[in-house]
Amino acid sequence: MPTGRSDREAPGRTWRRAGPDWPFWTVVAAVAGAYLILIVAMIGADAAWTTPGQLWSALGNEEIAFSIRLSLFTCTIAALLSLVVAVPAGYLLSRGDFPGRALVDVIVDIPIVLPPLVIGLSLLILFRLPLPWTGDPPVRLNDVLPLTYTVGGVILAQFTVGAAFAVRTMRATFDHLPRRPEDVARVLGCSRAGAVWRVTLPAARRGMVTAFTLAWARSLGEFGPILVFAGATRMRTEVMPTTVFLELSVGNLEPAIAVSLLMVLLSIAVMLVLRWAGDQGGASHDRL
């Protein structure tokens, strides 16, 4: 029954005025700022350790130049292969309905959570195991596909990890796309493949850019699987992360820092592309 008394005047309830927000924002800014300072300080320390002339001279070294070219090549191939796998796999996990879907989803994430050295070791064992249907002497997978300690092995090691990130990105992309345009295309006579090709994939192009770029960036920084499975042979399988390792192992800091700074610049460029793709994707989603 109404009493004519507002909730503010309810007996036993004490109202206090909220305090200022600045203590909360001060703590939040201090914690975030400390981490940002750490990142900037690390990059600044690398840049301050040597001179631009020394950096340019190190990057002009024949062996380091080879590792840079090989990294750019293998990362691009690995990212393209990752995208080829990620588009159908992401669509399957997003819109497919089949037994064991949750298990497949977990298996796709294994390269993301496994230690990198374990991935490289697993690849090495896989290619050295004898094929069960061969006779004596046994034929190993590496006899059929000779990839260990080769450029192909570098690409496979990068692809194994990068594809997992690309699949996850494409699944999220398809999850956020409405199904209605594809269903309308099918009602109008398109097959499932035709509807996906003509309607869904054009709408997912920003996600595809993001998946490619993320796989490329992950491949660029891959070290453990490459070291174990493909090795770090100069002028053969040496890429930028293994260059840093090799130069540090013999005490050559300037070349290691030069390659590290180059990788930092490439990573910043990748992040800008990802931000652009994300902004464009959000705008496209709003128009839909």
Report pLDDT digits (tens) over 201-224: 999 999 999 999 999 999 999 999
With 0-12 CB in 10 A as exposed, 13-18 as middle and 19+ as buried, what is 98? exposed
Q: At what angle do helices 240-249 and 62-95 cross, to 10 degrees?
A: 130
Question: pLDDT band for position 286 (50/70/90)?
Answer: low
Which one is predicted more confidently, 211 or 136? 211
Residue 275: the pLDDT is 80
Give dist(CA 222, CA 213) in Å, integer: 14
Residue 251: the pLDDT is 86
Which one is predicted more confidently, 117 or 60? 117
Contacting residues for 267 by C-beta, under 8 A, at least 6 apart: 217, 220, 221
Residue 227: the pLDDT is 94
Residue 211: the pLDDT is 93
Residue 146: the pLDDT is 92
Instruction: Average the pLDDT over 254-262 and give the result.
Output: 87
Residue 57: the pLDDT is 80
Instruction: Average the pLDDT over 124-139 and give the result.
Output: 84
Are 262 and 68 in contact, with CB atoms under 8 Å apart?
yes
Whether the per-residue pLDDT at 242 is higher than 60: the answer is yes
Cα 218 to its chain centre, rounded Å, is: 4
Mean pLDDT of the chain: 87
Instruction: Average the pLDDT over 105-127 and give the result.
Output: 93
Give dist(CA 178, CA 183) in Å, integer: 10
> In angstroms, how far is the first alpha carbon of the chain from the final one?
49
Report pLDDT digits (tens) over 14-39: 667 767 888 899 999 999 999 999 99
73-287 domain in CATH 1.10.3720.10?
Answer: yes
Residue 3: the pLDDT is 53
The domain ranges of the chain are 73-287
| 260: amino acid identity, one letter | S
Q: How far is CA 99 from CA 19, 93, 96, 104, 175, in A?
A: 54, 11, 10, 9, 19
Contacting residues for 245 by C-beta, under 8 A, at least 6 apart: 223, 227, 232
State the SS3 of the chain.
CCCCCCHHHCCCCCCCCCCCCHHHHHHHHHHHHHHHHHHHHHHHHHHHHCCHHHHHHHHCCHHHHHHHHHHHHHHHHHHHHHHHHHHHHHHHHHHCCCCCHHHHHHHHHHHHHCCHHHHHHHHHHHHHCECCCCCCCCCEHHHHCCCCCCHHHHHHHHHHHHHHHHHHHHHHHHHHCCCHHHHHHHHCCCCHHHHHHHHHHHHCHHHHHHHHHHHHHHHHCCCHHHHHHHCCCCCCCCCHHHHHHHHHHCCCHHHHHHHHHHHHHHHHHHHHHHHHHHHHHHHHHHHC
Give dist(CA 116, CA 227) in Å, integer: 10
Report pLDDT digits (tens) over 36-62: 999 999 888 888 887 777 778 877 888
Structure tokens at 134: 């061969």
Residue 134: the pLDDT is 73
